[in-house]
Amino acid sequence: MKRYEDLSPSLRCIMTPGPVEVDPRVLRAMSFPVLGQFDPEFTGIMNETMEMLRELFATGNQWAYPVDGTSRSGIEAVMVSLIAPGDRVLIPIFGRFGHLLHEIAERCGAEVQVIEKTWGSVFDADEVIAAMDSFKPQVVAIVHGETSTGRVQPLAEIGRACRERDALLIVDAVATIGGVPVETDAWMLDAVIGGTQKCLSVPSGMAPVTYNARAEAKLLARKQVERGLRTGSEREGGLPPVRSNYLDLSMLQDYWSPLRLNHHTEMTSMLYALREGLRLTLEEGLAPRFARHKLHEQALLAGLAAMGLELYGDPASKLTVVTCVLIPEGVDGEAVRSMLLERFGIEIASSFGPLKGLIWRIGTMGFSCRENNVLRLLGALEAVLLRHGHILPAGQGVQAALDVYEAQGG
Amino acid sequence: MKRYEDLSPSLRCIMTPGPVEVDPRVLRAMSFPVLGQFDPEFTGIMNETMEMLRELFATGNQWAYPVDGTSRSGIEAVMVSLIAPGDRVLIPIFGRFGHLLHEIAERCGAEVQVIEKTWGSVFDADEVIAAMDSFKPQVVAIVHGETSTGRVQPLAEIGRACRERDALLIVDAVATIGGVPVETDAWMLDAVIGGTQKCLSVPSGMAPVTYNARAEAKLLARKQVERGLRTGSEREGGLPPVRSNYLDLSMLQDYWSPLRLNHHTEMTSMLYALREGLRLTLEEGLAPRFARHKLHEQALLAGLAAMGLELYGDPASKLTVVTCVLIPEGVDGEAVRSMLLERFGIEIASSFGPLKGLIWRIGTMGFSCRENNVLRLLGALEAVLLRHGHILPAGQGVQAALDVYEAQGG
């Protein structure tokens, strides 16, 4: 029999748009012994997590809980539960993850209309509203922070327009939650999906979602209690049942409610991690946390500029937590990334589709978003670029970042 | 702002049919710092995990990897990927989790036929074969170990019959994998789903699956590369695409293959836990591990019998790792469970549907399946029953279990 070695992963400085480094306190939380899923102590932890998620999403919604899967499972859960087959769904696309929303909506059996914006920019609210007025969607689904292009889409006006036109607005805030403001109630977002492995700095594995009473009404119209647990006919509404069992929010909310109607077996250790990540986030405070993300972005930008590197995309819509850097002419982007990882233990990201080979993507998210990481990265990137024969003003990048920190008293 | 307390879950002795206690070495594995999802060190861990899963499933299949979600996500992933809308699906039901397979198949758009067996027993292969010969299903889906009734369904003859009739056989081995033999290849099972939080004793959060080339052929006929990653039309086959994106095995296998086509962000810490749980399982050896589960079951049964407690169900089909005990006349089953949990820190399970209030379910699974747990439970159960006024031969239960261990030199 083959003997497998002890697990012993290397320590990395992870400056990608996720997954990012995890606070040791969150890692420690996962090493606690597990509780049973219906142990009152455990259901207490579930309730506390819901309370913390309401704060995170800036909402008074009753429903705020994690879907048990990666971020994408949360997106699909919201879409498959809120989009009935045949529904008209409008999807404004300004990067790769907009295409994912299109893909999922299509698999839900929706009649999809997309509008596309050139990558590197975002929509004016008017463009989305005009499309709504012509297509008259029941659902609009849009990405808040596009990690593929490093852009952030303003949502307040779109939210109001959806409310006025009685469309449900679904927002993918996977990349933004915990790093930049996501105002669920103030912006009138009907359903929002957050990610764990980005600005919350919890390992990948859960997808916090929230949705309001308008969204819940649609869920209840599709609700069907599971075979094996039914006591009567148990169809409550007139719309067709959700096509998924695992991702059916009408069932998940019964599990997360005092009913505790058995569904899946809640992921104990991931929930411990999420609760600890949320505790640390709320202890830091959302506003100071957003300010921290802004500060380290500014230091990074100053450093990159001082090295003579240029950024990709429209500056007006830049997403604080992802910085897209144009790979300089003549430089092999993948060779630079490999050397950063292999010699310095620092990871930055490549890119998707039309941007492949053209940009690097640098994340400043959550626990990874801190001064020593920014300074290490700038120093290492300079050294690697010099090693690849790229000419730049040596020494300037780190100095410029230090200037930003010192100006802020950092 | 409300201050949340430090996480500090109590230590429990968990003798339910899952989730069960986790080996401290597995808990420790989750506290390692994370790697990026495309870090070569991480993809190396992914590959090793696949290799270990092949051993666990006793298969030469190329595909053996975890779905990122709880066990139920693995069941749904296999079903939604292998059942095209309109497919004829036969589901033999002998407990609650058979009803779940029915529920999921229905949501997949299948034409479902069920055959039901009285709870507490399992099917003769001939009964399943007769139903196949009349209904001519394309897919048969069945539970291997029913935790709701504590029964195990023999599968070898059903496997051969499915192969001869060209039906795909999907097996829910969530409760059995790692605790009793699951012979994927020898029994001709086309797709098998295992659980982590039961006999493997890894926290809930991943669902290992395996499937063979017959199953893969059907996947490839439904394959559709994701929008945003497509380079051409990228429909490969003639069957309708899978209705889920998150649970589409044709996409998951591209992510787990050397292609590494981006899909979800693999759950880093859960994968560390799974790898460590598999390492410990394979280090113990499958045959000795199955023998260990048998030994502790025998000690438990001897102890329960000596206390005068009776078992539920047909003894011929008893599942080693779940013991269903009839609640004695006049005893409040839930009061006993609560006192066990609150005063002794020991958890046993209640039951579902028609068995509610009639039986307790005791698990002897994975890391929870050990002498000190069995002895503690028997002693505590005796004390709690006495405290509830139930008359029994005091002191006999633990002695009988000790006799079993001493007879085995344990």
Q: In terms of domains, do A258 and A133 share one?
A: yes
Nearest CA in chain A to B8: A32
User: If phi over 0 gives left and psi between -120 and 50 gives alpha, with beta otherwise, what is residue B109?
Assistant: left
* Residue B110 located in a structural domain: yes
pLDDT at site B235: 64
CATH of the domain at B353: 3.90.1150.10
pTM for this structure? 0.97
Q: With 70 as the cut, is the pLDDT of residue A410 above it?
A: no
Q: In terms of domains, do B239 and B276 share one?
A: yes
Q: In terms of domains, do A268 and A349 share one?
A: no
Q: In terms of domains, do A275 and A293 share one?
A: no
* Arithmetic mean of pLDDT, A273-292: 98
* Residue B212 located in a structural domain: yes
Average pLDDT over all residues of chain B: 96
- Taking the CA of residue A307 and the nearest CA in chain B, the distance in Å comes to 26
Inter-helix orientation angle A40-56/A268-284, to 10°: 40
Q: Which residues of A touch B226 (CB under 8 A)?
A: 99-100, 103
What's the domain count of chain B?
2
CA–CA separation, B361 and B379 (whole Å): 17
Instruction: Spell out the residues 6+ positions from residue A348 whose beta carbon is closer than 8 angstroms to its own.
Output: A15, A16, A337, A340, A360, A361, A362, A363, A377, A381
| Helix or strand holding residue B142 (H, E) | strand B139-143
**Residue B224 banded pLDDT, cuts 50, 70, 90:** confident
Is A285's CB within 8 Å of B1's CB?
yes
pLDDT at site A229: 73
**Residue A148 banded pLDDT, cuts 50, 70, 90:** very high
Is A16 an 8 Å CB contact of chain B? Answer: yes
Is B44 an 8 Å CB contact of chain A? Answer: no
**Could you say which of A226, A252, A281 is where a domain stops?**
A281
pLDDT at site B228: 74
Q: What string of DSSP letters covers B143-186?
A: ESEETTTTEE---HHHHHHHHHTT-EEEEEETTTTTTS---TTT
Interface of B with A in 269-298 (CB under 8 A): 269-270, 272-273, 275-276, 278-279, 282-283, 285
Is A268's CB within 8 Å of B203's CB?
yes
Residues across chain B = 410
Q: In terms of domains, do A341 and A229 share one?
A: no
**Could you say which of B264, B281, B298 is where a domain stops?**
B281
Backbone angles phi, psi at B12, to 5 degrees: -125, 150
Q: With 90 as the cut, is the pLDDT of residue B392 above it?
A: yes
In this predicted complex, what is the ipTM? 0.96
Hey, of A83, A265, A337, which one would you mutate to test binding to chain B, going by the most B CBs within 10 A of its CB?
A265
* Arithmetic mean of pLDDT, B265-287: 98
Nearest to A52 among B4, B14, B104 (CB): B4
Q: With 80 as the cut, is the pLDDT of residue A237 above it?
A: no
Q: In terms of domains, do B195 and B294 share one?
A: no
Q: In terms of domains, do A382 and A239 share one?
A: no
Q: With 90 as the cut, is the pLDDT of residue B234 above it?
A: no
Binding site members of B for substrate: 361
Nearest to B7 among A97, A102, A275 (CB): A275
Is A69's CB within 8 Å of B264's CB?
yes
Nearest to A4 among B52, B97, B247 (CB): B52
- Taking the CA of residue A406 and the nearest CA in chain B, the distance in Å comes to 30
Q: In terms of domains, do B245 and B334 share one?
A: no
Is B250 an 8 Å CB contact of chain A? Answer: no
Is B268's CB within 8 Å of A243's CB?
no
Is A270's CB within 8 Å of B269's CB?
yes
**Residue B289 banded pLDDT, cuts 50, 70, 90:** very high
pLDDT at site A273: 98
- Taking the CA of residue B194 and the nearest CA in chain A, the distance in Å comes to 14
pLDDT digits (tens, 9 = 90+) for B155-188: 999 999 999 999 999 999 999 999 999 999 999 9
Nearest CA in chain B to A341: B39
SS3 content of chain B, % helix, strand, coil (to 5): 40, 15, 45
Q: In terms of domains, do B292 and B248 share one?
A: no
Q: In terms of domains, do A111 and A193 share one?
A: yes
A214 belongs to an annotated ligand binding site: no
CA–CA separation, B129 and A40 (whole Å): 44
Q: Do the beta carbons of residue A120 and residue A152 sit within 8 Å?
A: no
pLDDT at site B236: 62
Q: In terms of domains, do B296 and B250 share one?
A: no
**Could you say which of A247, A281, A315 is where a domain stops?**
A281
Is A227's CB within 8 Å of B99's CB?
yes
* Arithmetic mean of pLDDT, A137-164: 98
* Residue B356 located in a structural domain: yes
Write out the two tokens for B222. Answer: 């439904």
pLDDT digits (tens, 9 = 90+) for B344-374: 999 999 999 999 999 999 999 999 999 999 9
Amino acid at B363: G
Q: With 90 as the cut, is the pLDDT of residue B20 above it?
A: yes
**Residue B410 banded pLDDT, cuts 50, 70, 90:** low
**Residue A409 banded pLDDT, cuts 50, 70, 90:** confident
Nearest to A69 among B12, B39, B69 (CB): B69
CATH of the domain at B79: 3.40.640.10
* Residue B8 located in a structural domain: no
pLDDT digits (tens, 9 = 90+) for B107-163: 999 999 999 999 999 999 999 999 999 999 999 999 999 999 999 999 999 999 999
- Taking the CA of residue A260 and the nearest CA in chain B, the distance in Å comes to 13
Q: With 70 as the cut, is the pLDDT of residue B76 above it?
A: yes
* Residue A10 located in a structural domain: no
pLDDT at site B409: 74
CA–CA separation, B366 and B361 (whole Å): 16
- Taking the CA of residue B405 and the nearest CA in chain A, the distance in Å comes to 27
Q: In terms of domains, do A43 and A151 share one?
A: yes
pLDDT digits (tens, 9 = 90+) for A366-397: 999 999 999 999 999 999 999 999 999 999 99
Q: With 90 as the cut, is the pLDDT of residue A332 above it?
A: yes
* Residue B82 located in a structural domain: yes
Q: With 90 as the cut, is the pLDDT of residue A232 above it?
A: no
Hey, of A2, A3, A4, A262, which one would you mutate to test binding to chain B, going by the most B CBs within 10 A of its CB?
A4
Nearest to A100 among B4, B228, B242 (CB): B228
pLDDT at site A225: 81
3-state secondary structure of A106: helix
Q: For residue A370, what are the domain limits?
A: 286-407
Write out the two tokens for A129. Answer: 């509203």
CA–CA separation, A335 and B374 (whole Å): 57
CA–CA separation, B299 and B375 (whole Å): 9
Q: Which residues of A touch B18 (CB under 8 A)?
A: 265
Nearest to A186 by CA among A221, A231, A142, A155: A155
